[in-house]
Amino acid sequence: MKHVTHKIQAYLDGELAPADRERVLAHLEDCAACRREVDDLNRLFTTVEQAQQAPTLAPIWPALAERLLERRRPVWSWSYRGLAAAAALTGVLVGWQLGQTPTGSANAPAVAVEAGYLEARLPSLDQLWLQLDELDGEAGS
Amino acid sequence: MSQGDDILMQRTAAGEEQAFRQLVARWQQPVFAFLLHMLGSVEEAEDMTQDTFLKVHDQAGRYQPAGRFRSWLLRIAGNKARSALRRRRILRWVSFDPVRHDRPGAAADPLQELTRRETAAEVQAAIATLPERQRAALVLKRWQGLSYQEIADVLQTTVPAVESLLQRAAETLRQRLAGAGPPVARKERS
């Protein structure tokens, strides 16, 4: 006698085709081992089904509606954010560029040092020019 | 009058928020329960439930109304759960804490209630050790009540493969739960 063990779960779940179901039923009439299998599986499934414990979830719609709304917003909010960031970056770059010019306040100390250095040497330069003029006069006379 | 899921999906695709809201109210609990048993965390399952419905909303225009909304929905939920599990680098199912999440029962006999909870914890621990697809098939059948064809749709496999997954899951559980549970036998299931 060929047992129908592999068909019993599908039989219990009502998933067998009518012809297969008839064959299983006929077999169970004569087979105590397969009837025990039916009882064992029934007991197992009952135990499993009774172990299901999922708490009831509060309605998710308010949170979901908010998320849907947020997904519609970003097109604008990100554009504005992008524009603001671009404006800020432009300002920084312009300011930095202006700071590179000699008149910029950032270079003021360096310019002052350079001017002081030249001023200190003007008398020497004046003397040099006078000496050159004298030499020119002597040469031209 | 309650409308069918396919019609609600068509209305959702047409931009009717009220239709989508009805779908969410109708299906949030089965999706949540499925995700909870997959992920083992109430908070994560709740987040993934929302993500699932956002995906449903996104895909509404591509949905083919063939009367298989439930399996389509649970397939999305299953994919979300799988991604979450991958993120955790744990491609296995974990059980949630039955004591923490179980609702207080209305049992008159505290001892009976305690026994029920202990048995539930044993069953969940055993289910948590099953390979992913066996566990998915088992949860979808025993706790969601899906047909073999619907489970095959969710897991993107064949009905014989589902039958095999369920047989192996039952065999493993039977070995691990030997002696657990109340001696309840049913004559007929369908």
Q: What is the ipTM of this complex?
A: 0.73
Would residue B150 be called left, alpha or beta, if left means φ above 0 and alpha means ψ between -120 and 50 degrees?
alpha
B149 pLDDT band, cuts 50/70/90, is very high
CA A61 to each of CA A58, A69, B22, B32: distance values in angstroms, whole numbers, following the listed order: 9, 12, 9, 13
Q: Does any CB of chain A come closer than 8 Å to the CB of residue B55?
A: no
CA B95 to each of CA A9, B39, B44, B125, B135: distance values in angstroms, whole numbers, following the listed order: 24, 7, 13, 6, 11
**Six-digit token pair at B65?**
């109304």
**pLDDT the model gives residue A93:** 77
Query: How many CB atoms lie under 10 A from the CB of residue A43?
Result: 18
Nearest to A14 by CA among B134, B141, B154: B141
Q: How many residues does chain B have?
A: 190
**pLDDT the model gives residue B45:** 92
Nearest to B27 by CA among B46, B5, B11: B5
**Six-digit token pair at B125?**
């621990």
**pLDDT the model gives residue B132:** 84
pLDDT values of chain A reduced to their tens digit, one per residue, 141 residues: 688 888 999 999 999 999 999 999 999 999 999 999 999 999 999 988 888 778 899 999 999 999 998 887 755 555 566 667 777 777 777 777 776 655 545 555 665 666 566 566 656 656 666 666 566 554 443
**pLDDT the model gives residue B96:** 47
The sign of the torsion formed by the CA atoms of A112, A117, A118, A123 equals positive
**pLDDT the model gives residue B183:** 44
d(CA B90, CA B142): 24
User: Which H, E and C letters describe A40-66, residue by residue?
Assistant: HHHHHHHHHHHCCCCCCCCCCHHHHHH
What percent of chain B shows pLDDT beyond 70?
A: 82
The sign of the torsion formed by the CA atoms of B165, B170, B173, B175 equals negative
**pLDDT the model gives residue B113:** 73
d(CA B6, CA B65): 5
Higher pLDDT, A86 or B173: B173
**pLDDT the model gives residue B120:** 84
**pLDDT the model gives residue B178:** 79
**pLDDT the model gives residue B97:** 46
Which residues in chain B have their CB less than 8 angstroms from residue A57's CB?
28-29, 32, 46, 49
The sign of the torsion formed by the CA atoms of B64, B68, B72, B77 equals positive
Which residues in chain A have their CB less than 8 angstroms from residue B163's CB?
9-10, 15
Closest residue in A to B105 (Cα) is A53
Q: Which residues contact B162 (CB under 8 A, 6 or more apart)?
A: B137, B148, B151, B152, B155
Query: Which chain A residues touch B if contact means CB-CB below 8 Å?
Result: 6, 9-10, 12-15, 39-57, 59-61, 63-65, 67-68, 71
Res B157 pLDDT > 60: yes
Res B59 pLDDT > 70: yes
CA A14 to each of CA A8, A20, A65: distance values in angstroms, whole numbers, following the listed order: 10, 11, 40
